[in-house]
Amino acid sequence: MFKIVNKNELAPGIKRIKIEAKEIAKKILPGQFIVLRVDESGERIPLTVVEKDIRKGTITLIFQEIGRTTKKLGELKIGESILDLIGPLGHPTEIKKYGTVIAIGGGVGVAEILPVAKAYRSVGNQVIGIIGARTKELVILEKEMRKVCNQLYVTTDDGSYGEKGFVSDILRKILTYPPIHQSTNLPDLVYAIGPVPMMKVVVEVTRPYNIKTIVCLNPIMVDGTGMCGSCRVEVGGETKFACVDGPEFDGHLVNWDLLILRNKRFLEEEQISLTQMDTN
């Protein structure tokens, strides 16, 4: 049993929990994830580890209450436990000195970009962060991102905070006008995590410049162990599984149109599950 030792709400429907998981805390690296099951009747879901504390033996998870399982997870209280938790899973991010790295997080993807941005900065990269949300109240981890980035830009779809527009709009400005980030050169790497359509747009923005662009395909994973096949994706003409071959891939090689179609395949089943949960 994995006890919840801390919990808070970052934004409406977005929770942060700290869990006792001593062995995972020792081994987890940026980019990797865990799979958990809330209770005996629950499904397995993958979540990225945002922070770890080796001394206290804890890991921190951030999630949005969208489906049945995340809603059940969000209902747990401090002192209660999660039944199953396994990890680390997936390949860790390749952390090395590139030069200038742009780290982009959309929505809850900001929780996943935070440890990656921190790791890139720790090896001497200049890290430019771009985070976005639909509206001001859904912006998360801004303070934490400012600590690990040399510069940080915040966008909201409705313009209620930061710059109005999308993270890709800021990226386009940076690539078109390099002085916006006090450099005469284009970035050496762009790393993006967030909704699938957002990542697709980011990739298309960087493609003409031939900038290496890494995307994290955690949003399409279901089981997280390679058994269900739901995260099958075409990368460079080859079939890959986001959970066991990734979760990070060269964004310029991903077949985004096919990926977007596959990402919609469980919408009806999820809605039925939520309806049943509400009536129980």
Number of domains, the chain = 2
Question: Both 47 and 137 in a single domain?
Answer: no
Quick one: pLDDT at residue 225? 67
Question: Both 118 and 148 in a single domain?
Answer: yes
Question: Both 75 and 109 in a single domain?
Answer: no
Do the Cβ atoms of 250 and 93 come closer than 8 Å? Answer: no
Question: Both 40 and 159 in a single domain?
Answer: no
**CA distances, 240 to each of 46, 93, 94, 237, 255 (Å):** 17, 17, 18, 9, 11
Question: Both 104 and 229 in a single domain?
Answer: yes
Question: Both 237 and 165 in a single domain?
Answer: yes
Question: Both 132 and 168 in a single domain?
Answer: yes
Question: Both 114 and 85 in a single domain?
Answer: no
Q: Of 89, 121, 154, which residue is a domain's last?
A: 89
Sheet holding 100-106, edge to edge: 163-164, 151-156, 126-133, 100-106, 189-193, 213-216, 248-250
Q: Is the pLDDT of residue 220 over 90?
A: no
* 271 assigned to some structural domain: no
Percent of the chain whose pLDDT exceeds 90: 75
Question: Both 144 and 22 in a single domain?
Answer: no
Confidence of residue 270 (pLDDT cuts 50, 70, 90): very low
As a whole number of angstroms, the distance between CA 2 and CA 75 comes to: 15
Q: How is residue 40 annotated by DSSP?
A: T
- Average pLDDT of span 214-236: 80
* 80 assigned to some structural domain: yes
* 74 assigned to some structural domain: yes
Q: Which domain holds residue 52?
A: 2-89
**CA distances, 246 to each of 20, 130, 163 (Å):** 26, 23, 32
Question: Both 136 and 233 in a single domain?
Answer: yes
Which pTM was predicted? 0.89
Confidence of residue 94 (pLDDT cuts 50, 70, 90): very high
